[in-house]
Structure 1
Amino acid sequence: MAALAGAVTHETLAGIVNPLLTVAHHAYTATQIPYESDGMRRPGGSVLIAHWPVEANGRPLAGARCSAWLDDYYYRIHLSLEGIDLGNVVSIQTTPVQVWNAWFEPRTLTAIDGLDEGITVSGQPAPPLLFAALQERSYDLSVTPDGTPVLDTYITWVFAHGAAPQVRVTANRIIGWVFVPDWAEGVNERLAWATDILSSESMVEQRRALRSAPRREFEATVYADGRERQYLDMLLFGWSARMWALPIFPDIQQIAIGVPAGALVIPCTTEHLDFRAGGLAMLRSHDAGDVFDAEVVEIDTIGSTSLMLKRATQRAWPAGTRLYPVRSAQLREAPVLSRITDKLSSFEVGFRIVEPSDFPAAAPALLYRGRPVLAARPDESQELTHEFVRLLAELDNGTAAAPLVTDVAGRTMPVLLHRWVASGRADRAAWRSLLYWLRGRQRALWVPTHADDLTLIGIAPETSSTIDVAYLGYTRFGQAHSGRRDIRIELADGTALHRRITGSTEVSGTVERMVLDAAHGVVLSPATVARISFMSLCRLDSDSVEIHHLTDSEGVAQSEILLRGVRDDEF
Structure 2
Amino acid sequence: MAVLNGQAVLPTLGGIENPNLTQDHWTFAWVNQFDPSPYVSDTQRVGEATITPHWPVEVNGRALSVKRLHAHVDDWYHRIHISPKQLDLGNVVSAQTQDVFLWNAFLEPRTLVDIGGTDEGVLVSGQPDPPLLFPALKELTWQLTVTPDGQPVLDTVVTWEFDNGREAGLRVTANRIIAWTFVPDWGDSIRERLTAATDILQSESGVSQRRKLRGSPRREFNGAMYAEGRERQLLDLALFGWSDRIWSIPIWPDIQLLNAGIAADVDFIPCSTQWLDFRAGGLAMLRGEDAFTSETVEILEVLPEGLQLKRNTQLAWPAGSRLYPARSAQLLEEPSLNKLTDRLIEAEVRFLVVEACDWPEWLPASLYRGRPVWDRRPDDTENLTHAAQRLRSTLDSGFAQPLVTDTARRAFQVLGQRHLDLGRAARALVRSFIYGMCGRQKVVWVPSHMDDLTVVATASAVATTIDIVNIGYTRFSNGKPGRRDIRIELWSGTVLMRRIIGATELDGQTERLALDAALGIELRSDDIARISWMNLMRFESDVQEIEHMTDSQGVAGWATVFREERDDEF
- TM superposition score normalised by structure 1: 0.88
Kept in 2, the 8 Å contact 1:537–1:569? The answer is: no
Q: Mark the runs of 5 or more structure 2 residues left unpaired by the alignment.
A: 1-33, 45-55
Residue matched to 2:172? 169
1:223 equivalenced with 2:240 (yes/no): no
Alpha-carbon deviation of 1:152?
A: 1.0
Q: Give secondary structure in 2 for the equivalent of 1:236.
A: helix
Q: Give secondary structure in 1 for the equivalent of 2:241.
A: helix
- TM superposition score normalised by structure 2: 0.88
- In structure 2, relative to structure 1, the CA distance for the partners of 1:24 and 1:507 (3 Å cut) is closer
Q: Give secondary structure in 1 for the equivalent of 2:410.
A: strand
Residue matched to 1:514? 513
Separation in structure 1 between the aligned mates of residue 40 and residue 150 of structure 2, nearest angstrom: 98
Separation in structure 2 between the aligned mates of residue 205 and residue 24 of structure 1, nearest angstrom: 108
| 1:488-567 correspondence runs (5 A) | 488-567=487-566
Separation in structure 2 between the aligned mates of residue 132 and residue 388 of structure 1, nearest angstrom: 84
- Aligned residue identity for 1:96: D
Alpha-carbon deviation of 1:104?
A: 2.6
Residue matched to 1:14? none
- The correspondence for 1:253, drawn from 248, 253, 256, is 256
Kept in 2, the 8 Å contact 1:204–1:568? The answer is: no
Per-residue CA deviations over 1:193-242 (Å, capped at 9, x if unaligned) read 11111111111111111111111110111100001000001110011111
Separation in structure 2 between the aligned mates of residue 317 and residue 335 of structure 1, nearest angstrom: 31
Separation in structure 2 between the aligned mates of residue 75 and residue 308 of structure 1, nearest angstrom: 44
Computed over aligned residues only, the root mean square deviation of the Cα atoms, in angstroms, reads: 2.2
Separation in structure 1 between the aligned mates of residue 416 and residue 35 of structure 2, nearest angstrom: 119
Residue matched to 1:88? 91
Kept in 1, the 8 Å contact 2:486–2:532? The answer is: yes
Residue matched to 2:10? none
Q: What fraction of aligned residue pairs are identical, expressed as a percent?
A: 55
1:406 equivalenced with 2:387 (yes/no): no
Residue matched to 1:52? none
Alpha-carbon deviation of 1:428?
A: 0.9
Separation in structure 2 between the aligned mates of residue 235 and residue 410 of structure 1, nearest angstrom: 59
- In structure 2, relative to structure 1, the CA distance for the partners of 1:166 and 1:491 (3 Å cut) is same
Residue matched to 1:393? 393
- The correspondence for 1:200, drawn from 189, 199, 203, is 203
Separation in structure 2 between the aligned mates of residue 227 and residue 479 of structure 1, nearest angstrom: 71
- In structure 2, relative to structure 1, the CA distance for the partners of 1:478 and 1:568 (3 Å cut) is closer
Kept in 1, the 8 Å contact 2:479–2:503? The answer is: no
- In structure 2, relative to structure 1, the CA distance for the partners of 1:525 and 1:107 (3 Å cut) is same
Residue matched to 1:20? 37
Residue matched to 1:180? 183
Separation in structure 2 between the aligned mates of residue 195 and residue 141 of structure 1, nearest angstrom: 45
Per-residue CA deviations over 1:174-210 (Å, capped at 9, x if unaligned) read 1111001001111000011111111111111111111
- The correspondence for 2:153, drawn from 129, 150, 153, is 150
Kept in 2, the 8 Å contact 1:413–1:482? The answer is: no
Alpha-carbon deviation of 1:165?
A: 0.6
Bigger Rg, structure 1 or 2: 1
Kept in 1, the 8 Å contact 2:267–2:312? The answer is: yes
- In structure 2, relative to structure 1, the CA distance for the partners of 1:468 and 1:121 (3 Å cut) is same
Alpha-carbon deviation of 1:245?
A: 0.6
Residue matched to 2:130? 127
Separation in structure 2 between the aligned mates of residue 222 and residue 570 of structure 1, nearest angstrom: 51
- Aligned residue identity for 2:524: S
Q: Mark the runs of 5 or more structure 1 residues left unpaired by the alignment.
A: 1-16, 28-54
| 1:149-548 correspondence runs (5 A) | 149-285=152-288, 287=289, 290-400=290-400, 403-548=402-547
Q: Give secondary structure in 1 for the equivalent of 2:236.
A: helix
Per-residue CA deviations over 1:500-535 (Å, capped at 9, x if unaligned) read 000000111110100000000000001211111100
Residue matched to 1:7? none
Separation in structure 2 between the aligned mates of residue 84 and residue 22 of structure 1, nearest angstrom: 75
- Aligned residue identity for 2:309: L
Alpha-carbon deviation of 1:138?
A: 1.6
Per-residue CA deviations over 1:462-496 (Å, capped at 9, x if unaligned) read 01111001111101112222221000001111010
Alpha-carbon deviation of 1:73?
A: 2.5
Alpha-carbon deviation of 1:145?
A: 1.6
Alpha-carbon deviation of 1:262?
A: 1.4
Alpha-carbon deviation of 1:62?
A: 9.8
